């Protein structure tokens, strides 16, 4: 049962900042590490979410497709779902989600996943278009992102929480992706309001970190001059 307490991570948040966007793990291999997850896409070709073993890709134009086995991603988290679920809970917005969890659990300093499934009054997401080499930085890429909003819909949020102390390494705080039940909207979750449904929380004891040891761009890159924390905060947290 080790797998239920292990969070898998391929790549790092730090790699994405200077534009190391090559996909270095494919979906087929990724699914051996979990049936649930969120990540980016090769060349930042959209935002991905794995829900109940189905890998979905939300592209820059908002279209949703099933990612095929050979599609690759540069940065992703995955795990095997074993959430402790509370039914029929109401959460006002993204901020309130964190407030609720930390009020009831002493989880500030651990790794955990959150899954919401139910009705939302409003959801705002974003995705990005595939970039080509030489890749721009994350901040430059984020300027061309597209945002999507929808009201009165049902859907799923999958999120991972890393303590702020780990923010160079992943995305400090909550990193969440969304997919609506009808797959009409999805992507990187910016905010939501009026959630009513089920809240699942799963904590991890172990982190299984995999680095792209065969990727020349990664091996050659000098991270010294990248202001990683500032760039991740700017690109990931703006709402």
Of residues 23, 13, 24, 55, the one with CA closest to residue 37: 55
Residue 188 binding Zn ion, by CB under 5 A? yes
Residue 126 binding Zn ion, by CB under 5 A? no
Number of residues that bind Zn ion (CB under 5 A): 1
Of the candidate spans 78-86, 123-131, 185-193, 223-231, the one that interacts with Zn ion by CB under 5 A turns out to be: 185-193
Of residues 79, 38, 190, the one with CA closest to residue 126: 190
Q: With respect to Zn ion, which residue has the nearer C-beta, 24 or 40? A: 40
Of the candidate spans 50-58, 115-123, 155-163, 183-191, the one that interacts with Zn ion by CB under 5 A turns out to be: 183-191
Residue 124 binding Zn ion, by CB under 5 A? no
Q: How far is the CB of 126 from Zn ion (least distance, A)?
A: 8
Q: How far is the CB of 236 from Zn ion (least distance, A)?
A: 7
Contact letters for Zn ion, residues 137-176 (x by CB under 5 A): ----------------------------------------
User: Which residues, other chains included, contact 115 with Cβ-Cβ below 8 Å and sequence gap of 6+?
Assistant: 36, 81, 83, 85, 156, 157, 158, 159, 198, 199, 200, 202
Q: With respect to Zn ion, which residue has the nearer C-beta, 101 or 128? A: 128
Q: How far is the CB of 205 from Zn ion (least distance, A)?
A: 24
Question: Taking a C-beta distance cutoff of 8 angstroms, is the pair 111, 160 a contact?
Answer: yes
CA distance 212 to 108: 29
Q: With respect to Zn ion, which residue has the nearer C-beta, 79 or 188? A: 188
CA distance 106 to 141: 36
Q: With respect to Zn ion, which residue has the nearer C-beta, 38 or 91? A: 38
Structure tokens at 159: 């999120």
* DSSP at 179: E
Q: What are phi and psi of 95, to 5 degrees?
A: -60, -45
CA distance 127 to 142: 9
Q: With respect to Zn ion, which residue has the nearer C-beta, 137 or 196? A: 137
Question: Taking a C-beta distance cutoff of 8 angstroms, is the pair 123, 185 a contact?
Answer: yes
Q: How far is the CB of 177 from Zn ion (least distance, A)?
A: 6
Q: How far is the CB of 100 from Zn ion (least distance, A)?
A: 21
Of residues 141, 238, 140, 117, the one with CA closest to residue 189: 238
Q: With respect to Zn ion, which residue has the nearer C-beta, 89 or 129? A: 129
Residues binding Zn ion (CB under 5 A): 188
């Amino acid at each position: 049962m080790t797998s239920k307490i292990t969070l898998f991570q391929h790549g790092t948040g730090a790699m994405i900042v200077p534009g190391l966007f090559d996909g270095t793990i494919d979906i087929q291999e990724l699914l051996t590490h979990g049936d649930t997850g969120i990540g980016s896409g090769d060349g930042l070709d959209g935002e991905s979410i794995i829900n109940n073993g189905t890998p979905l890709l939300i592209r820059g134009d908002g279209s949703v497709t099933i990612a095929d086995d050979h599609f690759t991603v540069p940065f992703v988290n995955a795990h095997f779902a074993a959430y402790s679920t509370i039914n029929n809970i109401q959460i006002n917005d993204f901020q309130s989600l964190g407030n609720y969890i930390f009020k009831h659990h002493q989880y500030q300093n651990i790794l955990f996943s959150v899954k919401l499934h139910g009705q939302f009054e409003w959801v705002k997401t974003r995705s990005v278009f595939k970039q080509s080499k030489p890749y721009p930085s994350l901040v430059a890429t984020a300027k061309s992102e597209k945002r999507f909003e929808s009201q009165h819909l049902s859907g799923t949020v999958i999120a991972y929480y890393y303590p702020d102390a780990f923010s160079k390494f992943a995305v400090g705080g909550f990193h969440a992706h969304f997919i609506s039940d009808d797959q009409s909207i999805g992507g990187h979750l910016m905010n939501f309001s009026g959630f009513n449904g089920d809240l699942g929380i799963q904590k991890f004891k172990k982190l299984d970190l995999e680095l792209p040891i065969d990727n020349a761009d990664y091996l050659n890159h000098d991270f010294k001059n990248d202001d990683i924390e500032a760039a991740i905060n700017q690109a990931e947290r703006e709402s």
